[in-house]
Structure 1
Amino acid sequence: MTQLLWQKPGVKVDERIQRFLAGEDVILDREFFLFDIEASRAHAEGLQQIGILTGEELDGIKRELSVLAEDFRAGRFVLDEQFEDGHSAIEARLIERLGDTGRRIHTGRSRNDQVLVATRLWLKDRLARVAALCRESAEVALARATAEASLPIPGYTHLQRAMVSSGGMWWAAWAEGFIDDAVRARDTLAWVDANPLGSAAGYGVNLPLARDHTTQALGFGRMQVAATYAQLSRGKFEMGAIDALGAALLDVRRLAWDLSLFTSAEFGFVALPAEYTTGSSIMPNKRNPDVVELMRASYSAVAAARTEIEQLLSLPSGYHRDLQFSKGAIFHAFGRGLGALELLPDLLRNLEWRPERMRAALDPSMYATDLAVDLARQGMPFRDAYKQAADPARWAEGDPEASLASRVSPGAAGDLRLDVLQRRLDALQ
């Protein structure tokens, strides 16, 4: 391992203790190493503005940071156990290439605000991706709601046949859900869009750091002003981002449940794209909806990550090493969650209904609610109408398209209000 940034003369480093302290940190730091380099560039620019670096020194640092980023992308620079973490790797590289100039880069900053700003930039990037994927999924769902508005589908409550529903209603539900998820991801991104760089270890430094410059250079919406709060927000902002991701994954979980049921032989309502299924290792007859099942399971990683971070935050103010463990949690949550969301739009585009199976599942009992409401509309008290409509003798084969057309309450099959959803979707562009 390279010389530790904090190592003092005469202090012996116990390798077992150091392994425990470092843990997987240097490996995890690969996730936001490029963001750490980006923030180092902005910090160096700020140091030049206040006279800590000369223009020539700044040019050298920026040049070497660009080379480091390119070497990392190309695999020529590997972030591994020779470094304590990604932050020390950047400093070691600059010192190796630039000598004393590289030794100046850490002036006015701590690894505390260095990890905060890299994490914050990473979260912004991931939340933008969540919002984009939710928006794309909503676009697909809304287009299919329009195209399949009058397609009869059995509607269920308690997994029992309930009422006649429609393709329009099923798709509109997911369209609105993913619009909400996109809005939440976007709003959460705006909330975490605050620059902590320059807060140092949480108490500021005796330099007029150019925090306005780094805020603008890194594309933050605002500066996180209170230096101590920058530390207090670590974990809190990560949980907020995970909550936004989790909202989308909860919708994915319920949608995947529908598809798991609808693709079974007992339902047979849906055929999945072949690439979204796998075979059995022993049963030649099987095509299993494994992708859908793993999409359904993905929320578990998000929930676990949130719990892990929440349990870390039983801390007083100031920085504590416990927070190091928050990195793995967010990487796992977004890795698993975005993996599921990436597959969703194409799944929604390409799943196929089996209308004959859905129509065959519509039985006379599913028109009983329509009958009760019709009797009430004719003047009968609803509770009396309910009793009459509950009599199986009054049930008869119905016309599903007529039932759907008559369902004119706003948001129902006869008045889907898809234009309202389209306007909300357009506002996300």
Structure 2
Amino acid sequence: MTDLLWQKPGVKVDARIQRFLAGEDVLLDRAFFLHDIEASRAHAAGLAAIGILGADELEALERELDVLADDFRAGRFVLDERFEDGHSAIEARLTERLGDAGRRIHTGRSRNDQILVATRLWLKARLDELASLCRECAEVALARAEAEQALPMPGYTHLQRAVVSSAGMWWAGWAEAFIDDAERARQTRAWVDANPLGSAAGYGVNLPLPREATTQRLGFARMQVAATYAQLSRGKFELAAIEALAMALLDLRRLAWDLSLFTSAEFGFVALPAEYTTGSSIMPNKRNPDVVELMRASYASVAAARTEIEQVLSLPSGYHRDLQFTKGALVHAFGRGLGALALLPDLLRNLDWKPDPMRAGLDRSMFATDLAVDLARQGMPFRDAYRLAADPARWPEGDPEASLRARVSPGAAGDLRLDLLRTRLRAL
């Protein structure tokens, strides 16, 4: 390992203790490394603006940071156990290449605001990805709702046959769900779009750091003003991002449950694309919906990450090393959550309905509610109509398509209002 940034003469470093302190930090920092480099460029420019760095030093630092970013992308520079973390790796590289200029770049900043700004930039990128995936899922669902709004299928409550529904209604529900999820991701991104760089260890420094210029350079919407709040917000902003992710994963979990049921022989409503299924190791007759099942399970990782970070945050104000443990939970939650969501749009595009089993799942009982409402519309008190319609002898044979056309309450099969969803989707 390179010399530790905080190591002082005469202080012994115990290898076992250091391994515990470092944990998997340097490996996790691979996720944030390019953002850390980007923030280092902005910080160097700020130091040059107040005379800490000369113009030649700034030019050399910017050049070497660009080279380091290129080397990292190409695999020529590997962030590994040689370094305590990504921050020390950047400083070690710059010092090796540039000497004193590399030693000056940490002036006025702490690893505390360094990881905060890198994480904040990373969160913005992940929330952009989340919003994009949710918009894509909503777009697919809306297009299929428009194309398949008259395709009848059973509607269930309590997993019992309830009323006649349609593929259009099924798709419209998921379209609106993912529109909401995309909107939540965008709102959360706007909330976390605050620059903590320049807050140092949470108390500022005795330098006139140009924080407004750094905020603009890094593309933040605003500066996180109070240096003390920069540390208080660590974990809090991560929780907000995970909650936005969790809302989309909750919808994915319920959608995956539907597909798990609908692809079973007992329902037989849906055929999945072959690439989204796997075979059994022992039963040659089987094709299993493994992708859908792992999509359903992905929410668990996100929920676990939220709980882990929330429990770490039982802390007083100021920085505490406990906060290091929020990093892994955050990376793993978004890795698994976005990985599952990324597979969903193509699955939704390519699943096939099986109209005959869907129609076969409709029976006379599912027209009883239509009958009760028709009687009430003719003037009978609804509770009396309800009792009459409960008699199986009164259930009509029923016409599914007619039932769907007659369901004209806004948002129902006869008036899906897909244009309103389309307008919301275009505004995202």
Q: Matched residues in 2 for 1:363 and 1:388: separation?
A: 18
Deviation string, structure 1 residues 244-267 (Cα, Å, up to 9, x no partner): 000000000000000000000000
Q: How is 1:311-330 mapped onto 2 (pairs within 5 angstroms)?
A: 311-330=311-330
Q: Matched residues in 1 for 2:132 and 2:153: separation?
A: 29
Q: Matched residues in 1 for 2:243 and 2:52: separation?
A: 41
Q: State the AA in 2 paired with 1:277.
A: T
Question: Counterpart in 2 of 1:39?
Answer: 39
Question: Counterpart in 2 of 1:25?
Answer: 25
Q: Matched residues in 1 for 2:216 and 2:110: separation?
A: 20
Q: State the AA in 2 paired with 1:65.
A: L
Question: Counterpart in 2 of 1:228?
Answer: 228
Question: Counterpart in 2 of 1:354?
Answer: 354
Give the secondary structure class of the aligned counterpart of 1:219. Answer: coil
Could you tell me which runs of 5 or more consecutive residues in structure 2 were left unpaired when the two chains were aligned. Answer: none
Question: Counterpart in 2 of 1:412?
Answer: 412
Q: State the AA in 2 paired with 1:101.
A: A
Q: State the AA in 1 paired with 2:299.
A: Y
Deviation string, structure 1 residues 323-355 (Cα, Å, up to 9, x no partner): 000010011100000001100100000000000
Establish whether residue 396 from structure 1 lines up as the match of residue 396 from structure 2.
yes
Could you tell me which runs of 5 or more consecutive residues in structure 1 were left unpaired when the two chains were aligned. Answer: none
Question: Counterpart in 1 of 2:271?
Answer: 271
Establish whether residue 197 from structure 1 lines up as the match of residue 179 from structure 2.
no
Q: How is 1:4-403 mapped onto 2 (pairs within 5 angstroms)?
A: 4-403=4-403
Give the secondary structure class of the aligned counterpart of 2:164. Answer: strand
Q: State the AA in 1 paired with 2:112.
A: N
Give the secondary structure class of the aligned counterpart of 2:343. Answer: helix
Q: Matched residues in 1 for 2:211 and 2:190: separation?
A: 19
Give the Å deviation of 1:198: 0.2
Q: Matched residues in 2 for 1:345 and 1:97: separation?
A: 46
Q: Matched residues in 2 for 1:19 and 1:288: separation?
A: 42
Q: State the AA in 2 paired with 1:363.
A: D
Give the Å deviation of 1:396: 2.7
Give TM-score, length-normalised by structure 1. Answer: 0.99
Deviation string, structure 1 residues 167-220 (Cα, Å, up to 9, x no partner): 111000000000000000000000000000000000000000011111111110
Give the secondary structure class of the aligned counterpart of 1:317. Answer: coil
Q: Matched residues in 2 for 1:101 and 1:272: separation?
A: 58
Give the Å deviation of 1:15: 0.5
Q: State the AA in 2 paired with 1:269.
A: F
Deviation string, structure 1 residues 375-394 (Cα, Å, up to 9, x no partner): 00000000000000000001
RMSD over aligned Cα atoms: 0.4
Q: State the AA in 1 paired with 2:46.
A: G
Give the secondary structure class of the aligned counterpart of 1:281. Answer: coil
Give the secondary structure class of the aligned counterpart of 1:153. Answer: strand
Report sequence identity in percent.
Answer: 83
Give the secondary structure class of the aligned counterpart of 1:303. Answer: helix
Q: Matched residues in 2 for 1:275 and 1:175: separation?
A: 24
Q: State the AA in 2 paired with 1:146.
A: E
Q: Matched residues in 2 for 1:6 and 1:235: separation?
A: 24
Give the secondary structure class of the aligned counterpart of 1:163. Answer: strand
Q: Matched residues in 2 for 1:32 and 1:202: separation?
A: 20
Q: State the AA in 1 paired with 2:75.
A: G
Q: State the AA in 2 paired with 1:352.
A: D
Q: Matched residues in 2 for 1:275 and 1:213: separation?
A: 50
Q: State the AA in 1 paired with 2:241.
A: A
Q: State the AA in 2 paired with 1:42.
A: A
Give the secondary structure class of the aligned counterpart of 2:121. Answer: helix
Count of residue pairs the alignment pairs up:
428
Q: State the AA in 2 paired with 1:60.
A: A
Runs of 4+ in 1 over 6 A off after TM superposition: none
Give the Å deviation of 1:395: 1.2
Q: Matched residues in 1 for 2:262 and 2:394: separation?
A: 30
Q: Matched residues in 2 for 1:426 and 1:308: separation?
A: 36
Deviation string, structure 1 residues 273-329 (Cα, Å, up to 9, x no partner): 000000000000000000000000000000000000000000000000000000100
Deviation string, structure 1 residues 12-45 (Cα, Å, up to 9, x no partner): 0011110000000001100110000000000000
